[in-house]
Structure formats: C-alpha cells, structure tokens
Amino acid sequence: MYGAKKIDSKKVWNDGKFSYITIGDGEYDHSQRIWISRGVSIDLNKNGEEIIKMPKKGISIEKGKKNYIMRNESNEKYYYNIGIYAGYRGDVERFVCMEGDGEIVVHGEHYNSPRGNLGIDDEYIIYGDGIWEYEIAGRTYGDPKYGVVILRGGEVEIYPGMDYEEYLELN
C-alpha cells in the first residue's frame, strides 16, 4: 500500500521549478505524471523531502492534454493512493469498486523487471469512498490472492484473503 508520494521537481529558467508526483515507476508508458499547482499544501517527511500526504481532501486532480494536474478545490471527498502488489511473475487481474462512489482517477504500473516479466504491481489514485475488491495472479508463496480494501472518511482498511461477500457477513 502507498500513503505519501515523494515530490519531484523540474527546474526551469530563473530559478523556478515545477513540482510533480509520478504514479507508477516513471518509465515508458505505464506511469502517469501529476503536476502540482502552486497553493496545494505540501508536507515534509522526516528526511526533509517534500511529499504529498494521502488520503487528502481539498484538491482536485484533472486530466490535461498529456498529464494530470492537481489543484486546490473545496470538496469534501478524499483522494486515496492505493497500491496492489502482484505475485511473482503475475499482475493485478481485477480491482473493482463493489460499493460506494469511489472512482479510479489515475492508474500506473510498477514493473518488477525491465519488461515486467517478474510481475507488474498496480498503483491507483481513487476519488471518493468505497469498498474495493482485488484479485492478483502469480506466485504469492502463501499470501492470499484476493482481498478487500475499504476507503472511508480518510481511513484505509485492508482485508487480505477476504472477498466482498465475506466482508458483508462480518459487518
């Protein structure tokens, strides 16, 4: 799972800079860049690096011509940064919102080898609360191949090895 994203900067003339975060591993066409507008609140981690903490509300992420743009906006829904780790030589087969108003805004992939032969993990920016079910492929060496992720009110709960029906029976 992912929480905070490290901010990268692109230097431009006159000592200015443009800040962005990358969803995915930053190579080829399986990653997405989100440019950060001035005024979006930025935090520092314990190493002094700039980060964007997630879940986060009070922003909007919109698709531009080529990349995405993060802006300040007064809204009450949260944006969540979620990562699903695939098994060895596998990938994420399914990641579906079973209940709620959550929607995938940005999707990126992390290749575990240069061409993804050793597995492809997925990373998502999700807008809104919901109950999500996932299923992965590949060798997991005893770890469950499915699970439920609950996104509610800025909190994230993960239940590996439980499907949506089992979650409903418990609650």
Residue 155 pLDDT grade (very low, low, confident, very high; cuts 50, 70, 90): very high
Strand, coil or helix: what is 168? helix
Q: Residue 12: its pLDDT value, please?
A: 66
User: Model pTM?
Assistant: 0.89
Could you tell me if 110 and 42 lie in one domain? no
CB contact set of 41 (below 8 Å; sequence gap of 6+): 58
Could you tell me if 123 and 52 lie in one domain? no
Could you tell me if 89 and 155 lie in one domain? yes
Q: How many domains does the chain have?
A: 2
Could you tell me if 49 and 98 lie in one domain? no
Task: Give the range of the structural domain holding residue 114, as residue numbers without chain letter.
Answer: 79-170
Task: Please say whether the beta carbons of 136 and 90 come within 8 A.
Answer: yes
Q: Residue 14: its pLDDT value, please?
A: 61
pLDDT in tens, 7-45: 887 766 566 778 889 898 866 577 898 999 888 888 888
Q: Domain end: 24, 48, 72, which one?
A: 72
Could you tell me if 111 and 154 lie in one domain? yes
Q: Residue 112: its pLDDT value, please?
A: 83
The more confidently predicted of residues 135 and 112 is 135
The more confidently predicted of residues 74 and 120 is 120
